[in-house]
Amino acid sequence: MNFFTNIFKPKEQTYTIVLTVTSPNGFHLRPIASFVNETKKYSEEITLSSKEQRVDAKSINAILALTLVAGDRIELCVVGQEPQKTLYTLANFFEELMQTELQKYQLADIELDNNIIETAKIEKAIYSKQLLRGTSIYEGIVIAPLYRATLKIENKSNNLNFQEALQKSIQELDKLYESHKQSANASIYLAHKTLLEDQEIQNITTLDAFNIYIKKHIQSLQATSFDARRADYLDIQKLILAQLGQSSTLVLPDTPFILFADDLLPSEVAILAKSAVAGVVLKKSSLLSHSAILLKNFSITSVIIRDTIFPNDESILDASLGLLIPNPSQEDKDIAKDRIIKNQEIKHSADLKKFDKTINKNGKEVKILANITNLESAKEAKAQGADGVGLLRSEFIFQSKEPSLEEQTKVYRDIFKLFDTITIRTLDVGGDKELPYIKMAKEANPFLGIRGIRLFDSHPEILQTQMKAILRASKGKAIKIMFPMVSTPKEFINAKATTLRIAQKYKLKVDNVKFGIMIEVPSVIFQIDAFNDIVDFYSIGTNDLTQYLFAIERTHPTLHADPLSKVLFDVLELLYTKSTKPISICGEIASIPQASQRLLQIGFTSLSMAPAQIPLIKETIRNG
């Protein structure tokens, strides 16, 4: 570089921001891998600092070594000529990762609560024989021999050196990632690929050095909350050894069996899925481990049971209740067979009738709608038999850059074509959801700050463009526009008035549009009479409503509100009783079978949920 170039080179700047690990499971391999892959897109120097250590944010192993747990604060630092945009983009990406991990944790928590509720029913002695209790990973009931996991070791010499085996392993993981891109399995394959691509491993030249590296990392995880990461290191070690001809494979029977093991490697679960396996019992896993995630994705009946287990010729695995009955009596086998038949009938009926109307035992029709996030999930909702869309989260189109009027209009129009009933929620950011291109003042408590409908005042141009796009996309089709985080009638009146002015200015139809609010803020409960006079409909967002009722932030690392609290149901009943306009539920609670029955008892006849839950909830309601 010559003298003049050096003089006029833009001066490097440093920007930092402090982030908090809010996922109850800490900052573990999958989100770290996603974060590292995101940082590699930028040329700036990017580091993370925590616990008096500063590490390269483009190194997965360096971040893993920080062992970041829930509540830990980390400083994200970007150094470059224009680092501010990169900093905010990465900070938002991190927050989205934390929110996704929290949602997974909460769903697992709900599944655990449901399992406890169901297991309590067995106190009435469904089964007569001695049984072992655990936590269900994936429901189902099977009867088969109980088989201990064993490995077959083979050594076949080949001419590959370590570096060649490493690169072939990366290529194999890349193929697995590409072929499973639309499933949850993809994140696991991508995490392992990113781990092998880390510079620390890339610098290793011999198998002995690699084995030392693996042993060191596994030892560092023992007796910590990150002990479950052992499986990830063992899996990448197994993959490279296989490339070098040193393979270890599960020895599996040819006839149906129940496998029990301390835990399984992700690669072993993939092999199991192609075998005659009927069920799996794990001892040292967790609901959010990679093995558990894959067992669920492959629909393998499975549980976690901490007790000591011995092989036997026949056992009942009732994962619907989280039970294992070794050496069952004939009476217990008859009970299990009856339950298997009943479950098969329900599942078969649910699938056959997923496009039918949902009529409960009292003859009342219940609308089962879908919560969707993009065009792909809208198509899935259609395929699962959704009666319409109860919540179209419009944030997806705003994530990476500010969308144009034309881009928004096209996306909305494509989704609107799929259903006769559509409720679209206007842009809901703020709190734990931020956008890199929206400048928002630093808030001490963003969950109580500028978010939802308040963007009409703070960022009117963005909301006005969205209103115009929605009205253009509807082309006279009946739609519902729902405003989020409304706390006073005045907020709703002003937002609706803004939309009507836009319609008048651009000569767009509005007689096909109904305007309503998402009930999430407790103040609405005490102003429901005033809202009855001005809104066309209500939809209750139980996730945020629960957050504000109990003053427990949804992303809090240690505090969690009960999603099935009696207090919440009392509030829902009060709202249903006092509302004079159509009212529905669009929170996670709608997809919990026990909760949906209670909601129907209150009187709700419109529930909105994730598409995958729709067939089963429909059939559950029909069977009452």
In the chain, the domains with their CATH numbers are: 11-107 (3.30.1340.10), 127-150+251-350 (3.50.30.10), 155-226 (no CATH), 353-623 (3.20.20.60)
pLDDT for 2 beyond 60: no
CB 28 within 8 A of CB 22: no
Strand, coil or helix: 613: helix
Give the best-scoring range by mean pLDDT among 22-31, 180-189, 359-368: 359-368
Residue 17 phi, psi dihedral angles, 5° rounding: -150, 145
What is the C-alpha to C-alpha distance for residues 139 and 589, in angstroms, rounded to an integer? 19
Residues in the chain, total: 624
Mean pLDDT computed over 376-397? 90
For residues 205-227, one letter each, b for 16 or more C-beta atoms within 10 angstroms of the residue's C-beta and e for the rest, the string is: eebeebeebbeebbeebeeeebe
pLDDT for 258 beyond 90: yes
pLDDT for 107 beyond 70: no
pLDDT in tens, 151-208: 777 777 777 888 988 898 888 888 877 766 555 566 777 778 888 888 888 888 888 8
pLDDT for 306 beyond 50: yes
pLDDT for position 619: 87
Task: Pick the more confident residue, 100 or 324.
Answer: 324
Task: Pick the more confident residue, 321 or 438.
Answer: 321
Mean pLDDT computed over 478-499? 93
Across the chain, what does the average pLDDT equal?
82
pLDDT for position 559: 62
**28 belongs to the catalytic site:** yes
pLDDT in tens, 406-432: 999 999 999 999 999 999 999 887 654
- 118 band by pLDDT with thresholds 50, 70 and 90: very low
The alpha carbon dihedral of 249, 253, 256, 261 has a sign of negative
Strand, coil or helix: 515: strand
pLDDT for 443 beyond 80: no
- Global pTM reads 0.57
CA angle, corner 92, sides to 454 and 201, nearest 5? 170
Mean pLDDT computed over 98-107? 65
Find how far residue 364's CA is from the centre of its chain. Answer: 32
CB 301 within 8 A of CB 141: yes
pLDDT in tens, 566-575: 899 999 999 9
Mean pLDDT computed over 548-560? 68
pLDDT for position 104: 61
Among candidate residues 28, 192, 290, 459, the one labeled active-site is 28
pLDDT for 255 beyond 90: yes
Query: How would DSSP label each residue in 307-346?
Result: S----EEEEEEETTTTEEEES--HHHHHHHHHHHHHHHHH
Task: Pick the more confident residue, 223 or 392.
Answer: 392
Q: Give the CA dihedral 348, 352, 358, 359, nearest 10 degrees.
A: -70
pLDDT for position 176: 77
pLDDT for position 442: 64
- The single-letter code of the amino acid at 204 is I
pLDDT for position 5: 41
For the chain, percent of residues with pLDDT exceeding 70: 85
Cα–Cα separations (whole angstroms), residue 85 to 90, 98, 401: 9, 20, 12
pLDDT for 583 beyond 90: yes
Max Cα separation, the chain? 90
